[in-house]
Amino acid sequence: MSEPICPRPPLVAILRGLEAERALEVARVLFDAGFRIVEVPLNRPGAIDGIAAIARSAPADALVGGGTMLTPADVDAVHAAGGRMMVSPNCNRAVIAQARQRGMFAAPGVATPTEAFAALEAGASVLKLFPAEVIGPAGLKAMASVLPAGTGLWPVGGITPDSLAPWVRAGATGFGIGSQLFRPGLALAEIDRVARAFVAAWGATL
């Protein structure tokens, strides 16, 4: 079973705390603004329902999945809901392997070269560099220098539209964007404004 192709732009909207009843309207705003990757973290009630709702209505070229996926059972639950992406804050070989067995795009969290190589050996599609605020562009650049050429490196944590360019210069190939883009109760107009700012900032790095 082949894994999904990563859509462009490689910007992940992390919808932590997403209210299930708002899932469709929030996702629609993000897709209209140009986002094509949506992650709903599992450590909030209603996450699986939100993933299912978004997956059913997402554009054909979108990638929808779960975040904070800590066990193989999490992988199975997200896959059953229609999610095709696994995102975790840590490097757990069993979780990565289960995601790949299910044909899912796997983005485990790493913070050191040791974790990065372990994640790649387990089958990671890309590496989520977390927490990005601690690692910094200099840390990413150093890590990229020892990893296999072409390894996807996605900083997550504290990312803003203005910070995309320095990260890209250091070797970042995508980003996970959380509270800078979405918070529970945030107005749809504000989500739209910020989402478009991120898409434009990414385009300016190309």
Statement: residue 191 has pLDDT above 90: yes
Confidence of residue 1 (pLDDT cuts 50, 70, 90): low
Over residues 164-181, the pLDDT tens digits come to 999 999 999 999 999 999
Q: Which of 3, 21, 121, 128 is catalytic?
A: 128
* Predicted local distance difference test score (pLDDT) of residue 20: 87
Give the residue, 10 or 45, on which the prediction is more confident: 10
Helices 93-101 and 72-80 meet at what angle, rounded to 10?
30
Query: pTM of the entire structure?
Result: 0.96
Q: Is 128 a catalytic residue?
A: yes
Statement: residue 67 has pLDDT above 60: yes
On the 0-12 / 13-18 / 19+ scale of CB atoms within 10 A, 78 is: buried
| CATH superfamily of domain region 11-205 | Aldolase class I (3.20.20.70)
Over residues 99-156, the pLDDT tens digits come to 999 999 999 999 999 999 999 999 999 999 999 999 999 999 999 999 999 999 999 9
Q: Which of 39, 121, 141, 190 is catalytic?
A: 39
Mean pLDDT of 15-42: 96
DSSP string, the chain: -PPPPPPSS-EEEE-TT--GGGHHHHHHHHHHHT--EEEEESSSTTHHHHHHHHHHHS-TT-EEEEES--SHHHHHHHHHTT--EEE-SS--HHHHHHHHHTT-EEE-EE-SHHHHHHHHHHT-SSEEE-SHHHHHHHHHHHHHTTSPTT--EEEBSS--GGGHHHHHHHT---EEE-TTT--TT--HHHHHHHHHHHHHHHHHH-
Q: Is 39 a catalytic residue?
A: yes
Confidence of residue 2 (pLDDT cuts 50, 70, 90): low
Could you tell me the residue ranges of all domains in the chain? 11-205
